[in-house]
Amino acid sequence: MRLLPVMFYLISYSNVLTYANEPIQTFVIPHSHMDVGWVYTIQESMHAYAANVYTSVTEELSKDKNRRFIAVEQEFFRLWWDDVASVSQKKQVRPWHNSWKCQYTVLQLVKEGRLEFVLGGQVMPDEAVTDIDDLLLQMTEGHGFIFQTFGVRPRFSWGVDPFGASAATPVLFALSGFHAHLVSRVDYDLKDAMQKTKKLQFVWRGSASLQEQQQIFTHTMDQFSYCTPSYLPFSNRSGFYWNGVAMFPDPPKDGVYPNMSLPVTKQTLHAYASTMADNIKQRAGWFRTNHVLWPWGCDKQFYNSSVQFANMDPLMDYINQNSKDFGVTVQYATLSEYFQAVHNSQLVWDVRDSEDFLPYSTDSHQAWTGFYASRNILKGVARRASAQLHAAETLFTLYRINYPDGPVAKDWALAKLRALRWAVSEVQHHDGITGTESPKVADMYLQHLTRAMMGGKELLAAIFLLPHNIDIFSSHKKADAHQALERHLIVYNPLAWNISTVVNVTANFPCASVFDESRQPVPTQIQRSAASNVTYDLFILAELGGLQHRKYLMKFSEKPCPWRPKCGGAFEARAVPFERRSVRDWRKVGRRLLPVLSDCYKLMIDQDTNLLHSITHLQDKRRVRVTQDFWEYRANGDVKAGPISDNYIFSANASAVRAYEAVRMEIIPGEIVTEIRQYFYRKESDEDYVFSIVTRVPECFGSKVRCHGLEQTYSLGPLAVNAEVVLRTGSSLKSGRTLYTDDNGYQMMKRTRKEFANNTIARNYFPMVRTAYIEDGLSRLVLVGDRAHGVSSQVGGQLEVMLHRRLWNNLPWNLGYNLTLNDSSVVRPTLRMMLASKGVASKIYQREAVELQHRPVVVSIDLPQMHWTEKAHEGSRRASAVVLPPNLHLLTLSIPGWNYSVHSGENAQPEPDYDRVLLRIMHLFEEGEDPELSKPVTINLKDVLWGMGEVSAIEERSLTGTWDVGSLQRWTWKTADGKAGKKKSRRRFGDDPFSVTISAKEIRTFFVSFDSRNL
Ligand SMILES: [Zn+2]
State the DSSP string of 775-842.
Answer: E-SSEEEEEEESS-EEEE-SSTTEEEEEEEEE-----HHHHHHT-S------B--EEEEEEEEHHHHH
Q: What is the pLDDT confidence band of residue 567, given thresholds at 50, 70 and 90? A: confident
pLDDT attached to residue 875? 41
Cα separation, 658 vs 655, in Å, equals 10
State the Cα angle at 453 between 452 and 459, rounded to 5°.
95
Distance 73 CA to ligand 1 centre (A): 10
Helix (H, G, I), strand (E, B) or coil at 77: helix
* Residues 512-525, mean pLDDT to the nearest whole number: 92
Comparing C-alpha atoms, which of 384, 389, 382 is closest to residue 433? Answer: 382
Distance 125 CA to ligand 1 centre (A): 9
Distance 33 CA to ligand 1 centre (A): 6
* Residues 850-858, mean pLDDT to the nearest whole number: 97
Which conformational region is residue 567 in: left (phi greater than 0), alpha (psi within -120 to 50 degrees), or beta?
alpha
Cα distance between the two ends of the chain: 46
State the Cα angle at 12 between 10 and 13, rounded to 5°.
120
Cα separation, 780 vs 886, in Å, equals 20
Distance 515 CA to ligand 1 centre (A): 52
pLDDT attached to residue 874? 40
* Residues 889-909, mean pLDDT to the nearest whole number: 85
Distance 814 CA to ligand 1 centre (A): 16
Check: CB of residue 289 under 8 Å from CB of residue 338.
no
Distance 224 CA to ligand 1 centre (A): 15
Q: What is the pLDDT confidence band of residue 355, given thresholds at 50, 70 and 90? A: very high
Q: What is the pLDDT confidence band of residue 184, given thresholds at 50, 70 and 90? A: very high
Tens digits of per-residue pLDDT, 786-801?
A: 999 999 999 999 999 9
For residues 867 and 911, the model is more confident at 911
Distance 944 CA to ligand 1 centre (A): 43
Q: Is the dihedral of CA 269, 272, 275, 280 positive or negative?
A: negative
Write down the pTM of the prediction: 0.94
Distance 713 CA to ligand 1 centre (A): 33
On the question of pLDDT at 483 being above 80, the answer is no
Cα separation, 652 vs 154, in Å, equals 41
pLDDT attached to residue 906? 67
Distance 80 CA to ligand 1 centre (A): 19
pLDDT attached to residue 931? 97
Cα separation, 58 vs 800, in Å, equals 51
pLDDT attached to residue 485? 86
* Residues 844-862, mean pLDDT to the nearest whole number: 94
Distance 34 CA to ligand 1 centre (A): 7
Distance 446 CA to ligand 1 centre (A): 19
Distance 761 CA to ligand 1 centre (A): 26
Please, is 92 exposed, middle or buried when counting C-beta atoms within 10 Å of its C-beta (0-12, 13-18, 19+)? Answer: middle
- Of the chain, the percentage scoring pLDDT greater than 90 comes to 82
Tens digits of per-residue pLDDT, 769-786?
A: 999 999 999 999 999 999
Mean per-residue pLDDT over the chain, rounded: 91
Distance 163 CA to ligand 1 centre (A): 9
* Residues 497-512, mean pLDDT to the nearest whole number: 94
Q: What is the pLDDT confidence band of residue 703, given thresholds at 50, 70 and 90? A: confident
Helix (H, G, I), strand (E, B) or coil at 295: strand
DSSP label of 155: -
Distance 161 CA to ligand 1 centre (A): 5
Distance 4 CA to ligand 1 centre (A): 11
H or E stretch including 357? none
Query: How distant, in Å, are the alpha carbons of 75, 163, 297, 482 from that of 44?
Result: 14, 24, 20, 50
Is the preceding omega at residue 407 within 30 degrees of 0, hence cis? no
Comparing C-alpha atoms, which of 572, 573, 574, 578 is closest to residue 593? Answer: 578
Distance 1 CA to ligand 1 centre (A): 3
Distance 632 CA to ligand 1 centre (A): 30
Distance 923 CA to ligand 1 centre (A): 33
Cα separation, 192 vs 186, in Å, equals 10
pLDDT attached to residue 103? 54
Cα separation, 477 vs 487, in Å, equals 14
For residues 589 and 774, the model is more confident at 774
State the Cα angle at 535 between 534 and 536, rounded to 5°.
135
Distance 898 CA to ligand 1 centre (A): 28
Distance 190 CA to ligand 1 centre (A): 21
Query: How distant, in Å, are the alpha carbons of 459, 615, 940, 965, 966 from that of 989?
Result: 37, 50, 11, 13, 11
Distance 735 CA to ligand 1 centre (A): 37
On the question of pLDDT at 6 being above 50, the answer is no
Check: CB of residue 503 under 8 Å from CB of residue 651.
no
Please confirm, yes or no, whether 161 is among the known catalytic residues. Answer: yes
pLDDT attached to residue 588? 81
Q: What is the pLDDT confidence band of residue 641, given thresholds at 50, 70 and 90? A: very high
pLDDT attached to residue 499? 95
Distance 186 CA to ligand 1 centre (A): 15
State the Cα angle at 181 between 179 and 182, rounded to 5°.
145
Helix (H, G, I), strand (E, B) or coil at 978: coil
Per-residue burial over 761-773, b = 16 or more CB atoms within 10 Å of its CB, e = otherwise: bbbbbbbbbbbbb
Cα separation, 175 vs 409, in Å, equals 34
Q: What is the pLDDT confidence band of residue 879, given thresholds at 50, 70 and 90? A: low
Please, is 1015 exposed, middle or buried when counting C-beta atoms within 10 Å of its C-beta (0-12, 13-18, 19+)? Answer: middle
Cα separation, 950 vs 421, in Å, equals 28
Is the preceding omega at residue 560 within 30 degrees of 0, hence cis? no
Distance 299 CA to ligand 1 centre (A): 7
pLDDT attached to residue 562? 73
pLDDT attached to residue 12? 40
Cα separation, 188 vs 47, in Å, equals 35
Distance 11 CA to ligand 1 centre (A): 26
pLDDT attached to residue 3? 52
Contacts of 373 (CB under 8 A, 6+ apart): 435, 724, 788, 789, 790, 802, 803, 804, 805
Cα separation, 270 vs 344, in Å, equals 32
Tens digits of per-residue pLDDT, 267-305?
A: 999 999 999 999 999 999 999 999 999 999 999 999 999
Cα separation, 652 vs 762, in Å, equals 6
Contacts of 177 (CB under 8 A, 6+ apart): 153, 155, 958, 959, 962, 963, 968, 970
pLDDT attached to residue 473? 37
Check: CB of residue 854 under 8 Å from CB of residue 390.
yes
Cα separation, 341 vs 181, in Å, equals 15
Distance 285 CA to ligand 1 centre (A): 27
Q: What is the pLDDT confidence band of residue 147, given thresholds at 50, 70 and 90? A: very high
* Residues 343-357, mean pLDDT to the nearest whole number: 97
> Over the Cα atoms of the chain, what is R_g?
30
For residues 92 and 281, the model is more confident at 281
What DSSP assignment string belongs to 993-1011?
TTEEEE-TT-EEEEEEEE-
On the question of pLDDT at 60 being above 70, the answer is yes
Tens digits of per-residue pLDDT, 936-987?
A: 999 999 999 999 999 999 999 999 999 999 999 999 999 998 887 766 555 5
Distance 432 CA to ligand 1 centre (A): 10
Q: Which residue among 126, 161, 537, 743 is the active-site one?
A: 161
